[in-house]
């Protein structure tokens, strides 16, 4: 099973994913390949594999991705190898992905494995405060996608207003465990 988390930049996707990974060893992270630079605290393979644009485009030519998107001027892609590993090992993988990539991935995987989608909503001012708090250098670029991303929320199975980290994590655990039983 793959659990897809989407929402605006700063909505808490990776923070929640990290909490879930710490709580349950049955969960694993599905890293994404990206051409963006690492933020403080990020390392290779967690939550991203950082590659050059040329390396990424070579991987596209070699058809190594299920999907890829350009977001905020950087490329992001979901590697096929990771999906094969989920299915082979009956894993529960958690994935942070943008709204467009999520819809493509959901469609591509619907007959291959169970896909659960969760969208995080955060008020725009709170989102701005979070982005400033993490030292975001291009605030305007991050905020300009906010309205676009909200138009996708109704395409997700679960929508969570991510105001309180502890409550959001509890909701996510409940969703994942319920989906696992079905």
- Please give the average per-residue pLDDT across 18-34, as a whole number: 91
pLDDT tens profile 139-175: 777 777 788 899 999 999 999 999 999 999 999 999 9
Query: What is the total count of domains within the chain?
Result: 1
- Model confidence at 137: pLDDT above 90: no
| pLDDT per position as a tens digit, 60-92 | 999 999 889 898 889 999 888 877 777 777 779
Q: What is the CB neighbour count within 10 angstroms for residue 59?
A: 19
Q: What is the mean pLDDT of the chain?
A: 89
Say if residue 3's pLDDT is above 80. Answer: yes
Please name the helix (run of DSSP H) or strand (run of DSSP E) that holds residue 121, with its range, or none.
strand 115-121
Instruction: List the CATH number of the domain containing 99.
Output: 3.40.50.300
* Ramachandran bin of 90, using left for φ above 0, alpha for ψ from -120 to 50, beta for the remaining angles: left
Tell me which residue range forms the domain holding 11.
2-181
């Amino acid at each position: 099973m793959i659990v897809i988390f989407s929402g605006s930049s700063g909505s808490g996707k990776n923070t929640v994913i990290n909490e879930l990974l710490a709580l349950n060893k049955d969960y694993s992270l599905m890293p994404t390949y990206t051409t963006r630079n690492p933020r403080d605290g990020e390392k290779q393979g967690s939550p991203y594999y950082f590659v050059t644009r040329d390396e990424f485009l070579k991987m596209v030519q070699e058809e190594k991705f299920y999907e890829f998107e350009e977001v905020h001027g950087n490329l992001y892609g979901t590697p096929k190898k990771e999906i094969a590993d989920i299915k082979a090992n009956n894993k529960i993988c958690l994935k942070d992905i943008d709204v467009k990539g999520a819809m493509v991935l959901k469609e591509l995987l619907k007959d291959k494995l169970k896909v659960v989608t969760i969208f995080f909503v955060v008020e725009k001012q709170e989102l701005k405060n979070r982005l400033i708090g993490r030292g975001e250098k291009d605030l305007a670029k991050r905020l300009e996608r906010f309205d676009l991303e909200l138009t996708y929320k109704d395409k997700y199975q679960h929508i969570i207003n991510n105001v309180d980290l502890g409550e959001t994590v509890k909701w996510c655990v409940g969703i994942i465990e319920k989906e696992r039983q079905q």
